[in-house]
A and B are shown apart, each in its own frame.
Chain A
Amino acid sequence: MIQNCETYAGSFRRYIEGSLPADDAAAMLKHLQGCADCQAKFDAQKQVISMLGQAYSSRRISEEFDQSADRKLMQLHRKPQPLPSATAVLEDGEEEAFLDGRDVESGSWRDRLSAAPWWAVSVVLHGLVIALAGLISMAIELPQNDDIMVTVTELSQRPVVAVEEEKKRQEEKSALASKKETPPTDPTSLEQNQVIVPPELLAKAELGDHFETINPDRPDTQSAFGNPDAQMFHSEKGSDEPEGGGGNAGFTLDDTIGVGGSSSPGSGGGWGGGDGTGIGVGRGAGKGSFGNRGGGGRRLMVKKHGGSKATENAVDKALRWLAYHQEIDGRWDCDKHLSNKEWRWGGSAAQSAQFDTGVSGLAMLAFLGAGHTLKIGEYRTNLQKAAAWMISQQSENGDFTGKQQPCNSAAKMYGHCIATLAMAEALAMNNGKDWGEYTDKGAGGSLRQSVEKGIALILKWQEDNNHGGWSYNFNGQDMAGPLDPTATGWAVMALKAAKIAGVNIPAQSFQRATESLRAVTHLDKAAGDYGSAIVGYRGKAAMPFNSKGYACTAAGNVIWLFCGLPVTDDYVAAGTHFITTPDALPAWNFKPQDANTDHQNLYYWYYGTLACFQAGGDHWKKWNKSMIDALVPTQCQNGDDAGSWNPDDVWGAWGGRVYSTALGALCLEVYYRYQKISDK
């Protein structure tokens, strides 16, 4: 049997890919043994195929490709622009050239193209001087005079609106562009030191160990474990892409919190944990405050910090409930999902109706906390609708509750701060890229503008307050009196998130909040091992419902931590100790007569969970166990309520089921929602 080498050559690839029939394979292998030439080709091909497989493992044309293209075509068709952007690159008269088929690639161009570095073509074509490090550099900055030329062309060709859009688009892109130079997040780089992962976990992770689907009866589609977007968890080997691989390394700011990495789909399985978008995420841990919200980082963090499949499953279910109960206009309707039980702290449908903004913000936070963003994740459309609604509600002075009538001062304070926090997180998790699809709705304008305005109002409130904090004790228009930690908590978190998103926040704002909080805190260093720090409510005296001060102390701790104090700070350490005493731990055993305690108070648990998580150690172990035991078994499992928590806590009659469910989810997302400071 004589077959020439050519015949076999065509079968190498099929053999390597495993699709060559056994008989042919045997013949081929036999031939290889006797033919060094073919063996060499075979080896080369094998290497290339493996590299191709890796390079493209996470690449696939999006399913929405044609749909999006259709939409773009329609837009262009309605608003014809003769190749606007391309025109700008070309010099006069060149448009024709590239539209008529006399293309760079025809004829001898092709040869040049394949022989020359890819950028050389642009050099030749445009006569631009490009200084380049070589083939390897992706980020080329063209000379500025050329840029000016582009601007001029665009300005003269396009109507004002289009220029505005263009500007926005540039702004959107700018953050991304700057991220593109993030250093590689490979295991050997220095940044690795900032992520502390137990070696045994790491070993498993590197082997491609992944969780099974949580609930075999119900394919898990939302969490890091099963998000279809995150399919490359299952890829066998990580790639060494400098970006992608689950997003870039998160940025770390000088103080407490960093920002997550790029939300561009990663190229699969790299080291970086990504920004929590659940796309292309590798098995490594992420960095930065939002660095672990999805994918590999998320799984590691869940394991590392004491979560489980059960907690993740509960988060999934809660998000699903929230998604199903979003109103068509994008908000969540607070008084639509009230419990009809009566609770001590009152609440009525009329009151709750004023809290739509607040609970909608909480719901947004729950999605964001699990790694869904405006662009990526199963619930992105929910977030888009919610963000658009928020923008539509904003009044000229930046108030997200601006269109809410009537709106009591608590609804305004909480609503606005929570909404600002949610919008700022959305912005940060969009890489600080603006999102302005709804610019014509509402006074807020684009996402970034609305965040900036919202933050400006929060800062103004602080300015106006002679104590330097926030409370909802509005005196007419202005805020008066000592700080209210429960309100200040949201305000400070919003400032922090906005700072991460690139909004300028004066440092003294955090400083004043810290001091103002100390003013309402009773610290007794001599009490017990840790001393005692009890944060009061608008003054050192605890309010009746706050008889023991747990909730305010938990909120106070979060404020301090977000303002940059370490967990070892006297106040913080004493506070942590205080809220992890047996009476203070979460338990779902609410009896109406206990209403004046913080026992069953999701609002408290939310803050307590964040505070204890940062504290770590035994305090966190205690808290985490109680929190899980309180939340996981009590989640509703049936009917329309499946996935929610009954609003049977102190404030349930105000916030209803949206409030309880969003906060329940946020508690259980703690493992990856923010970066643990000591992990840095």
Chain B
Amino acid sequence: MPTTAMMVEQLIKMREDPNGVPLDQFWKLAERFRADLVNQAFVILGSQEDAEDVAQETLSHAFLNLSKLRDPSKIGAWLRGINRNLSLNLRRRYARAKEERLSTGQCDALEAPKTPTTGPIATGEMIMRAVDALPEQFREVLVLRYWEKLSDEQIAERLEVPIGTVWSRMSRADLILAEKLQLLMKQERHAK
């Protein structure tokens, strides 16, 4: 059965009667998205702990608000929307709390260095950001590989696509990334 259709069907059921759906079924569904959400939040927050927290929150909110999902086939984008907002919100709270602490002199001992980091952007960070900006079909194969450490076969299984599709999406993703990174590096050199 094609995944999307099955998913949509399940989602519609869940939406109508959230209490009638066993939670584990939702989490099973969520497995497909969680890596993507974590990656997205990580790019915003820079910490895996926070990123996972946010992704968990996103999924929880999503489950409780399923009835508000108007087009179940767009669940991925919907989740990302919530996730991004939660991430930005948390980052803002960090910034504000830090501001407060600095202004009240509470954290002179832990004060950040006077000058902000000016070092070169870490390649790792840049590449994660680039992954996050990929179109969905390419992004999802990569996050499953790199966050969930799944093999090509497992990815094919989880996404319910032929393995050849996984291979071709991955190569395509690599090449898009290569281009993007080249561009970013050029920009960075330029910025310096």
Q: A residues bordering B, Cβ < 8 Å?
A: 9-14, 19, 41, 44-45, 47-49, 51-52, 54-56, 59-62, 65-66, 68-70, 72-73, 76-77, 80, 82-83, 85-86, 88-90, 96, 98-106, 110, 113-114, 118, 121-122, 133-136, 138-142, 144, 146-147, 150, 169-171, 173-184, 186, 189, 239-244, 251, 253, 259, 262, 264-265, 267, 375, 431-432, 499-502
Residue on B with the closest CB to A138?
B46
Q: How far is the CB of B180 from chain A (nearest CB, A)?
A: 8
1/0 per position for B88-115, CB-CB distance to A under 8 A? Answer: 1111111111111110001101111100
A61 and B52 form a contact (CB under 8 A): yes
Is B122 in contact with chain A by the CB < 8 A criterion? Answer: yes
CA distance A56 to B191 in the complex (A): 26
Pull 28 A–B residue pairs with CB atoms less than 8 Å apart, ordered by A: A45-B171, A48-B178, A51-B123, A54-B123, A56-B147, A59-B146, A61-B147, A66-B30, A69-B55, A85-B90, A89-B92, A101-B71, A102-B70, A104-B84, A118-B129, A118-B132, A121-B84, A134-B187, A135-B184, A147-B95, A170-B94, A175-B110, A178-B101, A181-B112, A181-B116, A239-B122, A240-B123, A262-B47
Best-surrounded residue of A65, A80, A184, A501 (most CB of chain B within 10 A): A65
CA distance A54 to B44 in the complex (A): 19
A72 and B60 form a contact (CB under 8 A): yes
Best-surrounded residue of B97, B177, B188 (most CB of chain A within 10 A): B97
CB contacts (< 8 Å) of A150 on chain B: these are 89, 92-93, 96
Is B59 in contact with chain A by the CB < 8 A criterion? Answer: yes
B78 and A90 form a contact (CB under 8 A): no
Q: B residues bordering A, Cβ < 8 Å?
A: 23, 27, 30, 34-35, 38, 42-44, 46-50, 52-53, 55-57, 59-61, 63-65, 68-71, 74, 77-78, 80-82, 84-86, 88-102, 106-107, 109-113, 116-117, 119, 121-129, 131-136, 142, 146-149, 152, 164, 167-168, 170-171, 174-175, 177-178, 181, 184, 187-188, 191
B84 and A140 form a contact (CB under 8 A): no
Q: How far is the CB of A658 from chain B (nearest CB, A)?
A: 31
B133 and A118 form a contact (CB under 8 A): yes
CB contacts (< 8 Å) of A179 on chain B: these are 110, 112
Chain B interface, >50% SS class: helix
CA distance A83 to B57 in the complex (A): 9
Partner of A103, one of B77, B94, B123: B77
B147 and A59 form a contact (CB under 8 A): yes
Partner of B60, one of A9, A73, A114, A174: A73
Q: How far is the CB of B78 from chain A (nearest CB, A)?
A: 5
Residue on B with the closest CB to A88?
B89
CA distance A608 to B56 in the complex (A): 48
